[in-house]
Chains A and B, each alone.
Chain A
Amino acid sequence: DIVMTQTPLSSPVTLGQPASISCRSSQSLVHSDGNTYLSWYQQRPGQPPRLLIYKISTRFSGVPDRFSGSGAGTDFTLKISRVEAEDVGVYYCMQATQFPRTFGQGTKLEIK
């Protein structure tokens, strides 16, 4: 199974400042079709997860452009350019390159 490792596990940030979350996979996420199926999800308190980014860097419909994804192979990053209060929650990366699908442990974003 592909192990997904996120860092940090907790990230206190100041409103208006940037935030960055790293996700590393135990093996390359490049699929035989040439795509890399790495997604990012946001889970606000009391809510189900919500898709933010798919295939490394494509923002899902309705996701603000302050969210961006980057990376390749085994190393990926989610960045928030300017954190807003509504961004508080837990962020997960997930690989869908092979079964079983696997998630990172989650990174809790909190406001300082």
Chain B
Amino acid sequence: EVQLVESGGGLVQPGGSLRLSCAASGFTFSSFEVNWVRQTPGRGLEWISYISTSGRTIYYADSVKGRFTISRDNAKNSLYLQMHSLRAEDTAVYYCARGSGFDSWGQGTLVTVSS
């Protein structure tokens, strides 16, 4: 069974940092592109980053470019999102989603940026 499990969310102060992880199982992780998507009640679903199978091709949404870094470790079947300079508007549930078709999603991890 395909599984994606996010972790690392929590409460962080504005300007702080957080690292999210997404553990994959049930499929050959190294064969799939992966994405981070976030969701807020006010802004719906927002794609924020993509990484290719090898990790050599990466894209970011303008809203996080320069502050967030996506990476992956195929040996550990894991995807990461390093977040710096966090703002209140980064408060959201963060999902990892598999493939260019977003065909499988994790349950999400909540990030709250607040003082």
Chain A contacts to B: CB under 8 angstroms = 37, 39, 41, 48-51, 54, 60, 92, 94, 96, 99-103, 105-106
Contact = CB atoms under 8 A, between A and B. Distances in A.
Interface stretch (B12-20, B68-76, B80-88, B101-109): B101-109
Contacts, number: 50
A103 B46 contact: yes
Contacts of A106: 44-45
A53 to B, nearest CB: 10
B101 A51 contact: yes
Interface residues of B, number: 20
B106 A103 contact: no
A48 B45 contact: no
Contact of B50 (A37, A50, A60, A101): A101
A106 B50 CA distance: 22
A94 B102 contact: yes
A39 B101 contact: yes
